């Protein structure tokens, strides 16, 4: 067994060895600028186009609809700012209460600048009310942005239906697919989204690379202006090693998708079942029927999530909690608050997110140590 049992893949993931291998020549031999006139640069450009084709294939898109960016946050921000800039008369945005900060904090900033934002509610399982979406769309709505799947609970939204509803009103639609890409099939030849965001480091390529899908013909304003890279849609010398790495990661994701959806899900279910069987007063956060195959968000009554993480750390187990220590007091995450998870459970929430690199032995080890951790913490808990 590894020294570290890494169960925090929704935070970031290890770089696949095949990805690292594909990237290496671009630091040593193939260091030319892809935009240069000479053959040495042109060779790099050829590999970038190959990576673009692999990325497009994973999403059911055309290669020219893919823009390489630096991360998921850049892809999200580019979309929102582009939608507002290309439609100056429209000053209303619709998103959800459970988006990642990459969306929410920009929306809050835009509200302070005078834009109007509607945040859609979720129910106790984290599901959206589509009637609320229908009644929130207005003539001045510039963009609807709804994540494909939630990073904390793994809840998957009915993106096809949402996209159809939004497009039937003639409004631009964006989905943050940072957590879904590589874990779920995405087919933009049938999904009518205008924009879709991806982050490389959630799919076994390095941090510092992402991509944005922009449907052909969609009005677009670049976030970074400068050189003519990415067909004038994102300036900055192409990050060839990382682009090639992301292309390789997309190819691997396509090949491993079935494994992810069956074997990784099996390990996740084994973890869930083992914990629920051995630990009383535990509940699952999120929609178990529509959930990412790798994600388990489990809440233990009357314990603090951060204390659980510290104890897990002693055993070399990495996970995330559903609460964050802000100004000395523990506040549960905005996602769990939006779901109205009861206080005594929300604070004891832990997210385990698996990858194809996890083993059954690792899962069984977590199931073995966890009951003792919870019992020890409950023994000293003021809430127990
Ligand atoms: N969107 C979602 C749903 C995420 O989970 C994350 C990262 O956790 C991001 C966006 C931001 O991605 P990046 O870290 O590549 O900026």
pLDDT in tens, 11-35: 999 999 999 999 999 999 999 999 9
Closest by Cα among 182, 253, 189 to 216: 189
Q: Please identify every residue annotated as catalytic.
A: 325
d(Cα 311, Cα 43) in Å, to the nearest integer? 50
Question: Quick check: CB of 292 below 6 Å from ligand 1?
Answer: no
Closest by Cα among 101, 98, 140, 94 to 117: 94
Question: Around Cβ 167, how many Cβ atoms within 10 Å?
Answer: 15
pTM for the model: 0.97
* CA-76 nearest atom, ligand 1: 10
Residue 384: its pLDDT value, please? 72
Nearest CA to ligand 1 atom 13: 72
Q: How far is the CA of 40 from the centre of ligand 1 (A)?
A: 34
Q: How far is the CA of 59 from the centre of ligand 1 (A)?
A: 18
Nearest CA to ligand 1 atom 8: 11
State pLDDT tens for residues 189-232: 999 999 999 999 999 999 999 999 999 999 999 999 999 999 99
State pLDDT tens for residues 318-367: 999 866 554 455 678 999 999 999 988 999 999 999 999 999 999 999 99
Question: Quick check: CB of 72 below 6 Å from ligand 1?
Answer: yes
State pLDDT tens for residues 83-102: 999 999 999 999 999 999 99
Nearest CA to ligand 1 atom 7: 11
Question: Quick check: CB of 73 below 6 Å from ligand 1?
Answer: yes
Q: How far is the CA of 380 from the centre of ligand 1 (A)?
A: 35
Q: How far is the CA of 278 from the centre of ligand 1 (A)?
A: 33
3-state secondary structure 238-285: CCHHHHHHHHHHHHHHHHHHHHHHHHHHHHHHHHHHHHHHHCCCEEEC
């Amino acid at each position: 067994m590894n020294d570290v049992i890494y169960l925090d893949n929704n935070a970031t993931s290890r770089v696949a060895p095949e990805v690292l291998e594909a990237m290496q020549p671009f630091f040593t031999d193939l260091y030319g600028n892809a935009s240069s006139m000479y053959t040495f640069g042109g060779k790099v450009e050829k590999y970038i186009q190959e990576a673009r084709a692999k990325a497009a294939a994973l999403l059911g898109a055309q290669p020219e609809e893919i823009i390489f960016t630096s991360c998921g946050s850049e892809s999200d921000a580019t979309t929102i700012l582009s939608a507002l800039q290309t439609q100056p008369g429209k000053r209303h945005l619709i998103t959800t209460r459970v988006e990642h900060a990459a969306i929410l904090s920009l929306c809050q900033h835009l509200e302070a600048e005078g834009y109007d934002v509607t945040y859609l509610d979720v129910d106790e399982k984290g599901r959206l009310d589509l009637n609320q979406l229908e009644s929130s769309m207005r003539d001045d709505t510039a963009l609807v942005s709804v994540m494909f799947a939630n990073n904390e609970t793994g809840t998957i939204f009915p993106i096809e239906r949402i996209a159809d509803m939004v497009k039937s009103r003639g409004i631009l639609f964006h989905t943050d697919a940072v957590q879904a890409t590589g874990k779920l099939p995405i087919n933009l030849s049938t999904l009518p989204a205008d924009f879709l965001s991806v982050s490389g480091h959630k799919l076994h390529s390095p941090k510092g690379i992402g991509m944005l899908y922009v449907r052909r013909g969609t009005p677009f304003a670049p976030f970074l202006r400068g050189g003519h890279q990415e067909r004038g849609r994102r300036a900055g010398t192409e990050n060839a090693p990382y682009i090639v790495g992301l292309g390789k990661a997309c190819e691997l994701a396509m090949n491993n998708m079935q494994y992810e959806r069956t074997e990784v899900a099996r390990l996740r279910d084994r973890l869930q079942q083992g914990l629920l069987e051995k630990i009383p007063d535990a509940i699952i956060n999120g929609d178990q029927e529509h959930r990412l195959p790798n994600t388990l968000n489990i809440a233990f009554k009357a314990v603090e999530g951060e204390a659980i993480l510290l104890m897990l750390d002693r055993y070399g187990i990495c996970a995330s909690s559903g609460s964050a220590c802000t100004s000395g007091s523990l506040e549960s995450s905005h996602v769990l608050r939006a779901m109205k998870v009861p206080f005594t459970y929300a604070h004891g929430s832990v997210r385990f997110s698996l990858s194809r690199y996890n083993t059954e032995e690792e899962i069984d080890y977590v199931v073995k140590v966890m009951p003792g951790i919870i019992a020890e913490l409950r023994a000293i808990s003021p809430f127990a």
